[in-house]
């Protein structure tokens, strides 16, 4: 009977090893991401859909996207995919993070067109306009709901504009 019990436990253990290996090894919380509505949540989830070894959960209440990935490389791919769809946030990590790829340089500009911003609804647009207005020297912008680009005019620092949008949970790139 003891031998049968030991064999059964060993067999059960062998069956559980692949299940344990399949669990996520890297967990990243992207905090401060703009998730104002169900469309934002769906867009964030869609951004990482199909990436091997990645699961994502969005918490609209806390503005957090949680990434469970099989390894750091898969987690970084998920972060890159979220940024490509206009989402930004802070991971609290020096290695796994949204990369600074805006192309904006410090210094005053009269006009700047930013592309790739997530702007699915009026609430997104209101948050974008609010972040833009926080930048000294901005006089106007062309932000409208359901558009992925905005032109900002005035006499303002381009890097400060990007920083303000990032802080509001939006990722952008300068149009070349």
Please report, to the nearest 10 degrees, the dihedral formed by the alpha carbons of residues 116, 120, 126, 127 taken in order: -60
Q: What's the CATH architecture for 108-174?
A: 2-Layer Sandwich (3.30)
pLDDT beneath 70: ranges in the chain = 1-24
Taking the model in full, what pTM does it have?
0.85
Which stretches of 53-148 are assigned E, i.e. beta strand?
54-59, 64-69, 108-115, 138-141
Q: For the chain, give every residue range classified as CATH 3.30.70.100.
A: 23-99, 108-174
Q: Which two tokens stand for residue 167?
A: 């802080």
The topology under which CATH files domain 23-99 is Alpha-Beta Plaits (3.30.70)
Q: What angle do CA 14, 17, 21 make, to 5 degrees?
A: 165
- How much is the CA Rg of the chain, to the nearest whole Å? 21
Q: 137-163, pLDDT tens digit by residue?
A: 999 999 999 999 999 999 999 999 999
Q: Residues of 22-37 as b/e, b for ≥16 C-beta within 10 angstroms?
A: eebebebbbebbbbbe
- Rounded to whole angstroms, the Cα distance separating 61 from 27 reads 19
- The pLDDT, as a whole number, for residue 2 is 61
Query: What pLDDT does residue 176 have?
Result: 82
pLDDT (tens digit, 9 = 90+) per residue, 25-46?
999 999 999 999 999 999 999 9
- Give the model's pLDDT for residue 66: 98
For residue 110, the model assigns a pLDDT of 97
| pLDDT score at 5 | 55
Give the pLDDT of residue 23. 52
**What H or E segment, with its residue span, contains residue 98?**
none
């Amino acid at each position: 009977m003891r031998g049968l019990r030991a064999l059964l436990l060993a067999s059960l253990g062998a069956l559980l090893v692949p299940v344990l290996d399949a669990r996520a090894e890297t967990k990243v919380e992207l905090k401060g991401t703009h998730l104002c509505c169900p469309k934002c949540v769906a867009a964030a989830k869609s951004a990482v859909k199909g990436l091997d070894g990645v699961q994502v959960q969005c918490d609209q209440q806390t503005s957090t996207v949680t990434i469970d990935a099989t390894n750091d490389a898969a987690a970084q791919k998920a972060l890159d995919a979220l940024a490509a769809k206009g989402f930004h946030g802070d991971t609290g990590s020096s290695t796994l993070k949204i990369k600074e790829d805006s192309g904006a340089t410090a210094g005053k500009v009269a006009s700047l067109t930013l592309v790739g911003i997530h702007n699915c609804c009026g609430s997104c647009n209101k948050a974008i306009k609010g972040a833009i207005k926080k930048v000294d020297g901005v006089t106007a912008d062309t932000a409208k709901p359901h558009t992925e680009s905005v032109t900002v005019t005035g006499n303002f620092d381009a890097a400060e504009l990007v920083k303000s949008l990032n802080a509001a949970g939006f990722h952008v790139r300068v149009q070349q």
